[in-house]
Amino acid sequence: MEAPMLVLLLSACVSAELPNLTSLRENEPFEKLELHKREAPDNVLPKEDSIEEVNAKSGVADGLFQGDIVLTKLYCQNKACTFVSREQKERIAANMRGARFRRQAFNDKGWPARKWSNGIAYMLYLDDEKTKTAFQKAAKLWMENTCINFTEYKTKPPTDFLYVIGGDDGCKSNVGRNKDPGPQELALGQGCGTIGHAAHEIGHTLGLFHTHTRHDRDDFIKINEKNIKPFWRDQFDVQTTETNNNYDLTYDYGSIMHYAAESDVVSVDRKQPVMEAIDGNYTETLGSDIISFYDLLIMNTLYDCIGKTYDM
């Protein structure tokens, strides 16, 4: 019997079976599904600043891990911060003393409690209508292709919820759900109001780290350390097998969780890349603003959606 393939369903209430993991792995090399051509990211500008550039300009990058991830002291105490340099820990700790960053991160001893087992209830504390729309569309893209529900509330939800803020807070999120009950923050500040940026931060909130920090990254990507400013070098450290589970899926150059090859704020020489695909055919693919096939596959695997039937 032929295994069902993942498709985008546009009807409001349709029963769908999620993909068979084994059959999908056998279909490599893959072609991107036509998932997002039907709903193009019309709020994404050709020359938009990258997330790390937005955060550097907003003055929040100093207290973030890998450019846009919020860590907590508890997370590091649980020995899940082995991939964070001493200098980076000190910078994060300095910001936490000011109670600015208070969040928990992915894959510590409490996982899978960090998953949003009942979906995400959220409230938008955003003045900018374009940013509101960008978040709503990004959430819809994740929801329509996983078994994870997103529900917007105008008043405080009766359960743990995500609140989305703007202003000068940059683009940031913690990775996975907070350990302690209560509201959790995702920031889409000035410069972050695109579907691509919103989808990236939602990916963190649901439990994904950056693709370019996978423990097997160096098999696929060359990091040009000499072209990275000293402050940013530890942001490109790889994770360990203890903190990163890729479910044996191939490296995804086109992941929405992957930063681009070039970065004005990170690079010493802006004309040169900070990272390149070892297979040069994929270098231009890095830094996609569209949720990829493998982003969806790893999220469906993480949330045990494979083989489930769900209503939309």
DSSP tag of 65: B
Q: Is residue 212 a known part of a binding site?
A: no
Pick the catalytic residue from 152, 201, 225, 242: 201
End-to-end CA distance of the chain: 25
Q: Is residue 215 a known part of a binding site?
A: no
Longest dimension (CA), the chain: 58
**DSSP, residue by residue, 227-265:** GB-GGGGGGG----TTT---TTPPP-TT-TTSPPS--TT
- Residues with Cβ < 8 Å from 292, sequence gap 6 or more? 32, 252, 254, 255, 256
Phi and psi at 23, nearest 5°, equal -65, -35
Q: Is residue 36 a known part of a binding site?
A: no
- For this structure, is 201 an active site residue? yes
Separation between Cα atoms, residue 125 and residue 308, nearest integer Å: 33
In 3-state terms, what secondary structure has residue 134? helix
Q: Which residues pair with 223 in a beta bridge?
A: 275
> Which residues are marked as active site?
201
Indicate the annotated binding residues: 200, 204, 210
Indicate the annotated binding residues for Zn(2+): 200, 204, 210
